[in-house]
């Protein structure tokens, strides 16, 4: 594997790039304060722009050669509408997990599928990962469809894998893609 960090990825509709402090307003307005976006996520909606700015400062200062966190910028408006990140990287196993979220105004348009496909390509071909997995709350079937559309394979259900913010046990559905699947 050859870590390269978060590099800009250009597509027809999107640009995936490092976050900048100036993205705080877009993050707050477009997804981070929306209860519907956060419904199945481990984190609650941000209650203020100040809270988002603190998180953004942390992210911006945390870019290293093995950090992979992209802002999803819509080319037509130059607005940041979501995020996609790699975490839990294990160099020995050449494995990691991907997570993502996007504002409700852009749901159902294939944007996250496009972004995820580009990130998988980068992580397999440029960095050299062998396995990339993703999990979703079993109630969030739309996220599972995104994983399926990019060729990730269903691997199973982790029963009662976590407790949601509202205190109920939640099953996680696991998908993965291997470099040998390409």
Q: Which residues does 98 contact at the CB level (< 8 Å), separation at least 6?
A: 84, 85, 86, 87, 116, 119, 120, 123, 132, 133, 134
Instruction: Look at residue 110 and tell me whether its pLDDT is greater than 90.
Output: yes
pLDDT digits (tens, 9 = 90+) for 137-163: 999 999 999 999 999 999 999 999 999
Domains of the chain, with CATH numbers? 9-130 (3.40.630.30)
Instruction: Look at residue 65 and tell me whether its pLDDT is greater than 90.
Output: no
Say what the pLDDT of residue 182 is: 86
Average pLDDT over residues 77-101: 97
Say what the pLDDT of residue 179 is: 97
pLDDT digits (tens, 9 = 90+) for 167-179: 999 999 999 999 9
Q: How far is CA 83 from CA 17, 59, 75, 98, 128, in A?
A: 10, 12, 15, 11, 22
- 87, 99 Cβ separation under 8 angstroms: yes
pLDDT digits (tens, 9 = 90+) for 3-57: 999 999 999 999 999 999 999 999 999 999 999 999 999 999 999 999 999 999 9
- When pLDDT is cut at 50, 70 and 90, the band that residue 121 belongs to is very high
SS3 70: strand
User: Structure tokens of 134?
Assistant: 């993703």
Average pLDDT over residues 108-121: 98
Let me know the angle formed at the C-alpha of 158 by 86 and 35, rounded to the nearest 5 degrees: 60
pTM of the complete model: 0.96
């Amino acid at each position: 594997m050859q870590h390269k960090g978060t590099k800009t990825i250009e597509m027809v509709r999107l640009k995936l790039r490092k976050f900048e402090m100036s993205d705080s307003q877009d993050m707050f307005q477009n997804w981070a304060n929306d209860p519907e976006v956060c419904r199945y996520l481990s984190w609650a909606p941000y209650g203020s722009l100040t809270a988002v700015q603190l998180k953004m400062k942390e992210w911006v200062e945390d870019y290293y050669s093995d950090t992979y966190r992209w802002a999803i910028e819509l080319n037509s408006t130059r607005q940041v509408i979501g995020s996609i990140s790699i975490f839990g990287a294990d160099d020995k196993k050449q494995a990691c997990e991907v997570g993502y979220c996007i504002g409700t105004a852009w749901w159902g348009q294939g944007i996250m599928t496009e972004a995820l496909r580009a990130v998988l390509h980068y992580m397999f071909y440029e960095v050299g990962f062998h396995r990339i997995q993703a999990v979703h709350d079993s109630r969030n079937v739309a996220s599972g469809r995104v994983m399926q559309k990019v060729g990730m394979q269903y691997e199973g259900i982790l029963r009662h894998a976590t407790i949601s913010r509202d205190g109920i046990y939640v099953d996680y559905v696991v998908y993965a893609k291997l470099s040998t699947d390409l």
